[in-house]
Structure 1
Amino acid sequence: MVSSIKRFLIGRPLKSTELGEQKLNKRKALAILSSDALSSVAYGPEQILIILVTLGIAAFWYSIPIAVGVLVLLIVLILSYRQIIYAYSQGGGAYVVSKENLGINPGLIAGGSLLVDYILTVAVSVSAGTDAITSAFPSLHDHNVLIAIIFVIFLTILNLRGVTESASILAYPVYLFVGALFILISVGLYNVITGQVSPDLHAPIGTPVAGLSLFLLMRAFASGSSALTGVEAISNAIPNFKTPAPNNAARTLVAMGILLALLFSGIVFLAYYYGVSPSEEVTVVSQIAELTFGRNLIYYFIQGTTALILILAANTGYTAFPLLAVNLAKDKFIPRMFTIRGDRLGYSNGIIILGFLSIILIIAFEGKAEHLIPLYAVGVFIPFTLAQTGMMVKWIREKPKGWIPKLTINSLGALICFLVTVIFFITKFTQVWSVLIFLPLIIYMFHRIRKHYDQIADQLRVSSCECTIPIAGNVIIIPVAGITRVVENSLNYAKSLSANQIIAVNVSFEKEDEKRFQEKWENWQTGVRLVTLKSLHRSIIQPLTKFIDTVERKAIESNYQVTVLIPEFIPKKGWHNILHNQSSLLIRTFLLYRRNVVVTIVPYHLKQ
C-alpha cells in the first residue's frame, strides 16, 4: 500500500539512462530558477517603503534614487555571476568560488549561509504568497501557518517527481505573473501619463524631509536589496541545464536580470506615484492593483498570480539546495546521503530535508515573512560578498586576458555587497543576530563531519604493511526464550557453520522456570549445550551480556571469534510487530557496539 501511494504521488521510477531527459532548457530554467528573484518584486519595494514611512509620506520620493542604486547592484551581480558561470561551469556558485580562492573556511561560510538561505527562501516565499492570498481574502488571515505548510508539502512532493516535471508545471504560473505585472505596470504608467492619477497623492521629487539621514537611506537601500535574493541560484544549478550548460545558464541569468530590473523599477515608480503606504494587512502590489483596476477580475488575476509566484519562488530553493548539498557532501562536510539520487533521479534526501526544515521555520515565525526577510537577505549577501572577493583573488592570481574589467566588476560588487551586509547587521541587529550564532555552529558541524569521514577512511583503508591474525575458531552463542521452530531454525543454521562450540543461553526470572526449561531442553535432545542464567532484576540484557563478556575474554586468549546468533520471527504483516516483544531488537542494539562480538540475525518468516 505504501508503495502504491508513493507511486501515485511521485510517479514511476526512472532509469539512470533517462538522466539526460531531466535537464532544463532555457525557457523552463528561467521559470524554475528565476522565480525566487522575480517574486522578490512583490516585497522588495515594500521593504524600502517600510523604512521610509518612519519619516512620513513625503519621504517616499527617495524610493526612486534608492531603486536606482538597487538596479546598479543588480547589474553588477548579473555581470559577476555571468563570469562565475563560465569560470566554474561545474556549478557550486559562491561555495566553490570561495573555497578555491579564499580557503576552506570562507567556502564553508558561503556554503553554510546558502544552505540556510535556501531554507529561508522556501519559508519566506511561501509565507509571502500566503499573505498575498489573505490580502485578497481577509477571512483566511488566521490560517496563514496552516496554508503555508500545505503549500510546502505540495512543493516537496512536486519536486520529488523530478526537475523537468516540476519545471513544466511551474513555468506557467511564473510567466503568468510576469505578464500580469507587465499589464499592471503598463496600465499604471498609462494612467500616470494621461493624468488619471492625481499628483497630490505623492510628494514631488526633491521635497525636503525633516529627520532624514544617510544612515536611514542606507538602511532603506539594504532593505530594498532583498529584491536581489535568488540571483545566485542559476550559478549553483548549472548541472541542471542542457548542453552547452554554461552558455544556456549565462543567457538565462541575463534574461532574469532584465525582467527583474523592469518589474522592480515599475513597481517602485507606481508605488511612489500612487502614494501607496505599506500595510500589515494589504501588500503594496495589492494596493497598486486595486487603485489601477479596482476590485475586479483583473485585480484578482494579479493577486492570484502574485500569490502563485511567491509560493512557487520556493522552488528555486528546491532546485539549488540539493545541488549545493551535493557539492558539500562530495567534500565530506555534510552526510553522504545528500549525494544519492531518488527514484525520479532527483536528490530526494535534500528535497525532503529542505521541506521539513522550512515547515519548522514557518511554525517558529508564525508564517510572518517580514520577520524572516532580514535574516534571509543577510544569508544571501554574505555569500555574495565572498563570491565577489573570491573572483577578485582569482583574477589577480591568474591574470587572464581582459582581467582588468572583470576585476573592476567584482571589486565593485564585493564593496557594495559588503556594505549592504554591514548595514543589515547595524540596522536590523535584533532580527539578524542569530546569524552570528548559527553560522559558527554550522561551520563547526561541517568540520566535525569531515573529521569523522577522515577518521573512518583511515580506519577502513587496507594497508600492505598491516597483517591480520587468522581466526582459529568460532564460538556461537544463541539466546533462547523457549523451544520453538524459530529456535530450531537458528540451531540448524549454527550447526551448518562448523563452529567449534555452540552454546544456547536462557535467562529466567524464577528458579522453577529455570528448572522446567532445563528439563524440556534435555528431552528435546538437540545436542547443543544449554546455559541457564538467573536474572535477579528481571533483566535479560544484564546477565546475557555478562556471560558474553566471560566467553569473549576466554575466546580472545585462543584467538576465537564470538558470534551471537539471535533467533527472530518475522510476521507476515508489518503492523503485527507492535503485538510482540522486541527483545531481539533490544539484544542486538546492546551487542552491536561490542568490539569483538559478531551479531547475526536468523530470521524465521511466518506464513500467516
Structure 2
Amino acid sequence: MVSSIKRLLIGRPLKSTELGEQKLNKTKALAILSSDALSSVAYGPEQILIVLVTVSAAAFWYSIPIAIGVLVLLAALILSYRQVIFAYPHGGGAYVVSKENLGINYGLISGGSLLVDYILTVAVSVSAGTDAITSAFPALHDHNVGIAIIFVIFITTLNLRGVTESASILAYPVYLFVLALFILIGVGLFNVFTGQVPAELHTPVGTPIAGISLFLLLRAFASGSSALTGVEAISNAIPNFKAPAPNNAAKTLAAMGGLLAILFSGIVLLAYYYGITPNEKVTVVSQIAEQTFGRNFMYFFIQGTTALILILAANTGYTAFPLLAVNLANDKFIPRMFKIRGDRLGYSNGILTLGLASILLIIFFKGQTEHLIPLYAVGVFIPFTLSQTGMMLKWFRERPQGWMTKLIINTMGAVICFVVTIMFFLTKFAQVWPVLVFLPVIVFVFYRIRKHYEAVGEQLRINCEEPALPIEGNVIIVPVAGITQVVENSLNYAKSLGADQVLAVYVSFERDDEKKFEEKWNKWQPDVRLVTLHSHYRSIIQPLTKFVDTVQHKASEANYRVTVIIPQFIPKKGWHNILHNQSSLLIKAYLLYRRNVIITTVPYHLKK
C-alpha cells in the first residue's frame, strides 16, 4: 500500500541510465532557477517603501535613486557570476569558489549560509505567495500559516518527481507572471505618460524631505537589495543544464538579469507615480494592479500569477539546496545520505530535509514575510562577498588572458556586496543578529561531522601492521520467554552454528514461575543449559544486559565472542504488530552498543 501511494505521488522509479533525460534546456532552466530572483520583484520594491514611509510618504521619490543603486549591484553580480560559471563549470557556486581560493573555513561559511538561505528561500517565497492570495481574499488572512504549509508540501512532492517534470510544470506560471507584469508595467506607464495618473499622488524627484538621513537611505538600499536573492542559484546548478552546460547557464543568467532589471524598475516607477503606501494586508503589486485595472479579470490575473511565482519560487531552493548538500557531503561535512539519488534520480533526502526545515521556519515566524526577508538577504550577501573575493584572488594568482578585466569585475562585485552586508548589520541588526549565532554553530557542526567520518575511516581501514586477533570460540545466548515454536526455531539455529556453548536465558518476575519453567525446560531441552534470572523490578532488559556483560567479560579473556540470538515472531499482517509487546526490539536496541557482542535476530513467520 505504501509503495502504491509513493508511486502515485512521485511516479515510477527511473533507471540510472535515464539521468541524461533529467537535464534542463535554457527555457526550463530560466523558469526553475530564476523564479526566486524574479519573484523578489513582488516584495523587493515594497521593502524600500517600508523603510522610507517611516519618514513620510513624501520621501518615496528616493526609491528611484535607490533602485538605480540596486540595478548597479545587479549588473555587477551578473557579470561576476558569469565568470564563476566558466571558471567552475561543474557547479558548486560560492561554496566551491570560497573553499578553493580563500580556504576551507570561508568555504564552510559560504556553504552554511547558503544552506540556511535556501531554507529561507522556501519560507519567504511561500509566505509572500500566501500574502498575495490573502491580499485578494482578505477572509483567508488568518489562515496564512496553514496555507503556506500546504504549498510547501505540494512543492516538495513536485520536486520528488524529478527536475524535468517539476520544471515543465513551473515554466507556465513563471512566464505567465512575466507576461502579467509586462502588461501591468506597460499599461501603468502609458497611464502615467498620458496624464491619467494625477501628479499630486507623488512628490517631485529632488524635493527636500525633513528627517531623511544617510543611515535611513542605506537601510532602504539594503532592504531593496533583497530583490537580488537567488542570483547565485544558476552558478550552483550548472550540472542540471544540458550540454554545453556552462554556455547554457551563462545565457540563462543573462536572461534572468535582464528580466529582473526591467520588472524591478517598472514596479518601483509605478509605485512612485501612483503614490503607493505599504500596507500590511495588501501588497504593493496588488495596489498597483488595482489602481491600474480596478478589481477585474486583469487584477486577479496579476494577483494569481504573482501568488503562483512567489510560491513556486521556492523551487529555486529545491534545485540548489540538494546540489550544494552533495558538494558538502562529498567533502564529508554533512551526512552521506545527501549524496543518494532517489527513485526519480533527484537527491530526495535533500529535498525532504529542505521541505521539513521550511515548514518549521514558517510555523516559528508565523508566516510573516517581513520578519524573514532581512535574515534571508544577509544570508545571501555573505556568500556573495566571499565568492567574489575568492574570484579576485583566483585571477590575481593565475593571471590568465584578460585577467585584469575579470579582476576589476569581481572586485566591484566584492566591494558592493561587502558594503551591502555591512549595511544590513548596521541598519537591521535587531533582525539579522541570529546570523552571528547560527553560522559559527553550523561551521562547528560541519567540523564535528567530518571528524567523525575521519575517525570511522581510520578505524575501518585494514592495517597490515596490526592484524586482528583470531576468534578462538563462540558463546551463544538465547533469551527465551517461554516454550514455543519461536524459541525452538531459534535454538535449532543456534545449535547449527556449532558454538562451544549455548545458553538459554529466562527472566522471571515470580519465584514460583521460575521453578515451574525450569522443570518444563529440563524435560523439553535437557541438552541446552538454562540460566534463570530473577527481576526484582519487573524489568527484562536490566538483568539480561547485566548477564550478557558478565559472560562477555569472561569470554573476552579467552578471546571468545558472545552472540545473542533473539527469537522474534513476525505477524502475517503489519498492523498485528501493535497487538504484541516488542520486547525483542528493545533487547536488540540495548545490546547493539555492547562491545564484542554480536546480535542476531531469528524471525519466525506466522501463517495466520
**Fold conserved between structures, TM > 0.5:** yes
* Separation in structure 1 between the aligned mates of residue 525 and residue 44 of structure 2, nearest angstrom: 82
- Corresponding residue of 2:544: 544
Counterpart in the other structure of 1:188: 188
Aligned equivalents of 1:474 and 1:549: distance in 2? 15
Question: Who is 2:219 aligned against?
Answer: 219
**Partner of residue 322, structure 1:** 322
How far 1:226 sits from its partner (Å)? 0.3
Partner residue of 1:574? 574
Amino acid at match of 2:407: L
Q: 1:167 and 2:180 equivalent?
A: no
- Is residue 512 from structure 1 mapped to residue 512 from structure 2 by the alignment? yes
Which residue pairs with 1:206 in the alignment? 206
Q: Structure 1, residues 533-584: CA drift from partner, whole Å, max 9, x if none? A: 1122222122212222222122112221111101011112222111111111
Report the AA paired with residue 443 of structure 1.
Answer: V
**Which residue of 2 is the match for residue 104 of structure 1?**
104
SS at match of 2:391: helix
* Aligned residue in 2 for 1:305: 305
In structure 2, C-alpha distance between the alignment counterparts of 1:375 and 1:582, rounded to whole Å: 46
Q: Distance between the aligned counterparts of 1:458 and 1:418, measured in 2?
A: 41
User: Aligned with 1:332: secondary structure?
Assistant: coil
Residue matched to 2:412: 412
1:67 aligned partner, one-letter code: A
Report the number of matched residues: 608
2:584 maps to 1:587:
no
1:202-281 paired onto structure 2 within 5 Å: 202-281=202-281
Aligned to 1:446: 446
State the AA in 1 paired with 2:357: L
Compute the displacement of 1:409 (Å): 0.9
Point out where structure 2 has 5 or more consecutive residues left out of the alignment. Answer: none
Over residues 108-165 of structure 1, what are the superposed CA-to-partner deviations in whole Å (9 max), with x where a residue is unaligned? 0000000000000000000000000010111111111110000000000000000000
Question: By how many angstroms is 1:481 displaced?
Answer: 0.6
| Counterpart for residue 494 of structure 1 | 494
Residues in 1 aligned to 2:121 and 2:63: alpha-carbon distance in whole angstroms:
25
TM-score calculated relative to the size of structure 1: 0.99
Counting aligned pairs with the same residue, the percent is 79
- Separation of aligned partners in 2, 1:542 and 1:58: 76
Question: Does the alignment pair 1:355 with 2:355?
Answer: yes
CA distance in 2, matches of 1:60, 1:584: 70
Q: Which amino acid aligns with 1:341?
A: R
Amino acid at match of 1:369: T
Mapped partners of 1:545, 1:369: distance in 2: 53
* Residue identity opposite 1:72 in structure 2: V
Q: Which amino acid counterpart does residue 541 of structure 2 have in structure 1?
A: I
Counterpart of 2:389 in structure 1 is 389
1:368 paired residue number: 368
Corresponding letter in the other structure for 1:391: M
| SS across alignment from 1:196 | coil
Which moves more between the two structures, 351-360 or 52-61? 52-61
Looking at structure 2, the residues matched to 554 and 153 of structure 1 have their Cα atoms a distance apart, in angstroms, of 55
Q: Report the CA distance between 1:287 and its aligned residue.
A: 0.7
Paired with 1:202 and 1:210, the residues of 2 have a C-alpha distance of: 16
Deviation at 1:364, TM superposition (A): 0.7
**With structure 2 as the length reference, what TM-score do the two structures score?**
0.99
Cα distance, 1:575–1:526 mapped onto 2, change above 3 Å: farther
1:94 — aligned with what? 94
Secondary structure of the 2:299 match is: helix
Secondary structure in 2 aligned to 1:536?
Answer: coil
SS for the counterpart of 2:532 is strand
**2:433 corresponding residue in structure 1:** 433
- State the SS of the aligned residue for 1:341: coil
CA distance in structure 2 between the partners assigned to 1:537 and 1:191 by the alignment: 84
Deviations for 1:97-117, whole angstroms, at most 9, x for unmatched residues? 000000111100000000000
Partner AA of 2:488 in structure 1 = E
Distance 1:177 1:306 in 2: 6
Q: Distance in 2 between matches of 1:489 and 1:525?
A: 13
Mean CA deviation greater in 553-562 or 39-48: 553-562
Structure 1 residue 596, shift from structure 2 partner: 1.2
Letter in 2 for 1:64: I
Structure 2 counterpart of 1:333, which letter? Answer: F
Q: Describe the SS at the equivalent of 2:502.
A: strand
SS in 1 for 2:568: strand
SS at match of 1:54: coil
CA distance in 1, matches of 2:246, 2:466: 47
Looking at structure 2, the residues matched to 546 and 291 of structure 1 have their Cα atoms a distance apart, in angstroms, of 78
Equivalent residue number for residue 62 of structure 1:
62
Secondary structure of 1:502's match?
strand
Aligned to 1:282: 282
Taking the TM superposition and a 5 Å limit, the aligned residue runs for 1:336-351 are 336-351=336-351
Q: Following TM superposition, by how much is the alpha carbon of 1:468 offset from its aligned partner in structure 2, in angstroms?
A: 1.5
Separation (CA, whole Å) in 2 of partners of 1:556 and 1:147: 60
* Structure 1 residue 465: Cα displacement: 1.0
- Alpha-carbon distance in 2 for matches of 1:153, 1:112: 24
Deviation, 1:605, is 1.1
Runs of 4+ in 1 over 2 A off after TM superposition: none
Cα distance in structure 2, aligned partners of 1:307 and 1:553: 66
Q: How has the CA–CA distance of structure 1 residues 526 and 78 changed in structure 2, closer, same or farther, with 3 Å as cutoff?
A: farther
Match of 1:48 in 2: 48
Does 2:458 correspond to 1:458?
Answer: yes
How large is the Cα RMSD of the aligned pairs? 0.8
Give the letter for the 1:556 counterpart.
S
C-alpha distance in 2 between matches for 1:59 and 1:406: 38
Q: SS state of the match for residue 55, structure 1?
A: coil
Return the offset for 1:418: 0.7
Measure, in 2, the Cα distance between the counterparts of 1:254 and 1:402: 20
Does 2:81 correspond to 1:74? no
Task: Tell me how far 1:450 sits from its aligned partner.
Answer: 0.5
Q: In structure 1, what residue type is equivalent to 2:447?
A: H
1:331: which partner in 2? Answer: 331
Q: Give the Cα separation in 2 of the matches to 1:552 and 1:459.
A: 22
Deviation at 1:526, TM superposition (A): 5.2
Between the aligned partners of 1:8 and 1:467, the Cα distance in structure 2 is 52
In the alignment, the residues of structure 1 paired with residue 424 and residue 469 of structure 2 have an alpha-carbon distance, to the nearest angstrom, of 63
In 1, Cα distance between equivalents of 2:257 and 2:242: 20
- 1:585 aligned partner, one-letter code: L
Deviation, 1:467, is 1.0
